[in-house]
Structure 1
């Protein structure tokens, strides 16, 4: 395979790749040529600590995963119209991690495909079209998902009349904050308000789409009881609860395999979508749903067929990922390292006035910067500067949130306490220099 200098690679990319396909650090992009674990290496052999690649869930190029892929690729890779054991074995393993009623699986290739299929399932089952979503939500890049992603549609074609936006349950800068006696119930009541408004217009709800932990919204942790109460309102209105675990599934929160499980046993979605971490970088995603919803989907008389979804190689990779999560106690690591990182970030807040909030769970954390703690004014420019300075220290992070003022941490699950200490030490030094 040909190799090029960094400048040649960049020049050819600009020639052949669509301009809207953005690069990290667009002013001075990094050329990455290999990776292992939580580390990335550029063309000069410089090592970078990766704090953002939640796709490479069990670590870049994990040998067990690459071996499983290679072995199956050498044996067979075909579509799911032939019987094969891998897809059944994988579905069986996934079902053991989910509530009993979620026992029907549709394998696809990306989180976007999964959420598009979930939308079809919900609308077919309920015979309704309208969808409730959270403000600042992002569910994928297909047109159907741009339509239900305020993060995108506010910049593009605008809001469709069948899409209804509920407030983001953000207890730091939302309608109901940390001093509210029951923010979970208060935010759930906003879902009821949306439903009442929809009904007043003579329309009916098909689904409430909700990320278990809104990521683009700013690494938000849903207040306790929110999803359970909101789902009661949605089901009473004839709709279903679709939980988007594309960013947060497979043990990232540590305490549970799925982030929605943090809401308690009473919280049981009707549809769960999953993607990014499933294949550790290989395109693999899935929709899990109930037998009742699956039967309604079959009853429409249109066959569902996905050429690559659930192929033997993808499922072999998925099985290997599950094995590594278990064998290397990656959920336990997320608990231990995540708690250590959160504690270190909280100490930063005590030292630097610009740190407004530290939030998150497991290896899903956010550090929100503000220019005024009382007013909670987002420090967007400072957050961007911290990202650039950390790159100079060979650490990759990025920002999210409505104002791009939240530095987010979603590293590979093999992230260590030493990695956490290095990141926070560098942030501390940067904030000491650039802020009063």
Structure 2
């Protein structure tokens, strides 16, 4: 008897390797916002930000193939492509950010960012929220509260309550700032001091709370007073996803000292980066010896350059702003007793489902399964896993939005509320 795909996967990859959905989707092809499984079923991708400009975008594919056929090496040799890309990338930033390091993953970028903050400040304490995710290295895994730690959490790490605009209103950010101040005081008393606050400017994994521009100002002031830095993890908000701004920290209205990015940067090609000011970079380079064999290779840089070109040529940031307003209006028009809130930040949407004072976790999970069965990929986020996470590729337009919302309305009506 032949083994199933799932059985083969477990035999070759080991136990507990994560997959989405109760019946994992076996994908074989993608194009734009569409995906097809091994049985030929088509899915509208409303979840994956990795193919930022659309699955298998021909200009990105062409750039990868052309460079791969010419040269691929690393940054201990001189080549123009990595410099050309960095120059264009850095041109999208303000506030003195002017140098960068290319890596392979966002985890690596965040790991470097932590060391940059330590080198620049001479302190080792780090503050993050209590429902965050910033990667898989030994260092950044210490920042996640979602996975068990082996032994105690590192003593130089402090977790503060994540903002939640529905359950814990904090319209001017003073409550969050109070938590950060308390964490800084603890780190100072313990002898670590605070090197940086690391956040996603959308607080995407925390549930995408609605935060007004300037919301982080009290926190920023408190950090500056102690000489601490702010690291913006732009893996999810960056590259125009917010519609109104190219970077999420610009939309929220704070100055980022260090910015990291990853998944969407190469449209699926493994490339990521950390960028900062020349002063902070010099501190890092003078303290740490760092080299990444594959980070900054010409093929990765070519893929990333093509992504920037497509965003500009196809007006994807502007299209995101237009589609965002339309999707939010349609989501707000949905009528269901468990819908407690609808939130949007460019092409990133959250629908929070609650049953009284409890998150409607079981209903939310079943609703996602029903949407997948209908051919629409999405997922859940938030501490209670009761917030629908809708985060499509940037090629997602109004015609796709109508397909999504019509299907969601039908699935909401048919999904049973667990007893």
Query: In which range does the TM-score fall when normalised by the shorter chain?
Result: over 0.9
> Do structure 1's residue 277 and structure 2's residue 264 form an aligned pair?
yes
1:17-96 paired onto structure 2 within 5 Å: 17-25=13-21, 27-96=22-91
| 1:16 alignment partner in structure 2 | 12
8 Å CA contact 1:184, 1:224 repeated in 2: no
8 Å CA contact 1:111, 1:246 repeated in 2: yes
Structure 1 residue 223, shift from structure 2 partner: 4.0
1:61-210 paired onto structure 2 within 5 Å: 61-153=56-148, 157-174=151-168, 177=169, 182-210=171-199
Structure 1 residue 186, shift from structure 2 partner: 3.2
| 1:233 alignment partner in structure 2 | 222
Residues of 2 paired with 1:149 and 1:119: CA distance?
A: 14
> Do structure 1's residue 315 and structure 2's residue 309 form an aligned pair?
no
- Report Cα offsets for 1:366-402 as digits up to 9, x if no partner: 0010112xx3x20000001111101110111110100
Residues of 2 paired with 1:119 and 1:130: CA distance?
A: 9
Distance 1:425 1:288, change over 3 A: same
| 1:369 alignment partner in structure 2 | 353
| 1:357 alignment partner in structure 2 | 341
> Do structure 1's residue 215 and structure 2's residue 194 form an aligned pair?
no
8 Å CA contact 2:238, 2:247 repeated in 1: yes
Match of 1:224 among 193, 213, 216: 213
Taking structure 1 as the reference length, what is the TM-score of the superposition? 0.92
Residues of 1 paired with 2:160 and 2:414: CA distance?
A: 40
Residues of 2 paired with 1:13 and 1:202: CA distance?
A: 47
Taking structure 2 as the reference length, what is the TM-score of the superposition? 0.95
SS in 2 for 1:152: coil
> Do structure 1's residue 343 and structure 2's residue 329 form an aligned pair?
yes
Residues of 1 paired with 2:386 and 2:394: CA distance?
A: 24
Query: How many aligned positions are there?
Result: 416
Residues of 1 paired with 2:403 and 2:88: CA distance?
A: 36
SS in 2 for 1:89: helix
Structure 1 residue 423, shift from structure 2 partner: 1.5
Structure 1 residue 100, shift from structure 2 partner: 4.2
Match of 2:251 among 241, 248, 262: 262
Distance 1:141 1:221, change over 3 A: farther
- Report Cα offsets for 1:41-61 as digits up to 9, x if no partner: 011221111111101100000
Structure 1 residue 308, shift from structure 2 partner: 0.5
8 Å CA contact 1:51, 1:395 repeated in 2: yes
8 Å CA contact 1:59, 1:412 repeated in 2: yes
Residues of 2 paired with 1:190 and 1:290: CA distance?
A: 28
8 Å CA contact 1:169, 1:223 repeated in 2: no
- Report Cα offsets for 1:3-46 as digits up to 9, x if no partner: xx9x6433321210122321112x32221111000111011221
| 2:394 alignment partner in structure 1 | 413
Q: Which runs of 4+ in 1 moved over 6 A?
A: none
- Quick check: 55-64 or 235-244, which moved more? 235-244
8 Å CA contact 1:107, 1:286 repeated in 2: yes
SS in 1 for 2:166: coil
